Amino acid sequence: MAKSHSIVFLYKAASVPDAILERMRAAVPDGFSLTLCEQSMGAEQRRAAVARADYLIVYTVPFDDLDVAGDVRLLQLLSAGYDRLDVQALARAGIPVADNGGANGPTVAEHALLLMLSVLRRLPLHHGALARGEWLGMREGLSLRELRGKRVGIVGFGRIGRDVARMVRGFLAEPVYSDAAAAPPEVEAELGARRLPLEELLATSDIVTLHTPLTDGTRGLVDAAALARMKRGAILINTARGPVVNEADLVAALRSGHLGGAGLDVFEREPIGADNPLLGMDNVVLTPHVAGTTLDTWTRRIEFGYGNIVRVSRGEPALSVVNR
C-alpha cells in the first residue's frame, strides 16, 4: 500500500468555522491524511505533528516550528498575506510558501467597493438614524456623493487591485494605480488603468484604496505626510493590512475635515478597543477584518490549497509561491 502523505493544518479556532473544517476533512485528496492543529493546542503536540508533516496548511497564525519541519515540502497559506511568517527563513530551509492564489481576490475587491459606496452615501449615518427611530429623509442629501466620474487610486496592483479596477470601471469611475512594477500593457489597456507615481496618485484621486502587502517598505506608508497630499474631501479605503496606515494620523486628518471619510476593514491593533476614536465618526465605515471572508472564498481557498499540494506531490512546482 502506498504511503499516505501527511497534511497538517495550523489555524486559530476563531478564524475557521466548524463547517469549514468539515469541508476540509471531506475534501482531503486521495492518498493524503489531514491533522488539525488549533492554536491553543500544546506546543509539544503541535511540534510533533509538524515533525511528521509532509505539507503544512496555515491560516491566521504564525509559524515558529521551522526546526522540526525538515520533511515539509510546501507551506500552503489559505490567506493572501504572509506577514506573519519569516518567508526568507523558510526559503533558506528549502520550504516554498504559497499564498492562496488569489482565492480571496474577488471577495476583497467587492468589499473595497462596498466600503467606497457606503462612505460616499454615508450609510452608517442613515442606518443609525433609522435604528434610533429618526427619519433623516433628504436632510443630508448634499453631503452624499456617487462613484461615477471619480478617480479611484489603487495602491498595489496585484490580483485584488486589478479586480478593483475592473469593478470601478463598471461604475464609470477612472482607475489609476501605483505599484513598484508596471502591469503589462495589455492589462492596463483591458482595465483602462494608468500607472502614476504614488505622490501624484494621492494628490489627484477622489478615492484611494490600499491593496499592498504589509512589508518593511509599506508599514506606515499612509502617514500624516501622505494624507496631507490627498485631495481635500477624498476618501481612504483600507482592506489590506492595518499597519499600512498610521491610525493616529488618519484620525487627525478626519477630524480636521481634510479627508471626507474612510472605509476600514483592518486596523493597527485587532480587535479594536471600544475607545477607538474611529467608532464615533459618522463619515467612517468599519468592518472587523472580514473583507476576504465569504463561503465562496473558502471554497476557492480549499480547492487551490489542496490542488497545490497535489501538484507538489507529483513533482510539479507549486503555484503562487511568494519566497522563491
Catalytically active residues are 241, 270, 289
Q: In 3D, which of 227, 280, 220 has the Cα closest to residue 256? A: 227
The grid coordinates of residue 23 equal 469541508
Contact criterion met (CB below 8 Å) for 295 and 71: no
Cell matching residue 178: 501605483
How far from 308 is each of 55, 128, 196, 256, CA to CA, in Å?
10, 45, 35, 49
State the amino acid at position 211 in one-letter form.
Answer: H
| CA distance linking residue 232 with residue 221, whole number of Å | 19
Cell matching residue 297: 472564498
Give the position of cell 488549533. Answer: 38
Longest Cα–Cα distance of the chain, Å, equals 74
Helices (H), 220-318: 224-229, 247-256, 295-313
Q: Quote the CA–CA distance of 208 and 91 in Å, as a whole number.
A: 34
- CA pair distance 55, 153, nearest whole angstrom: 39
Closest alpha carbon to 162 in 192, 132, 140, 136:
192
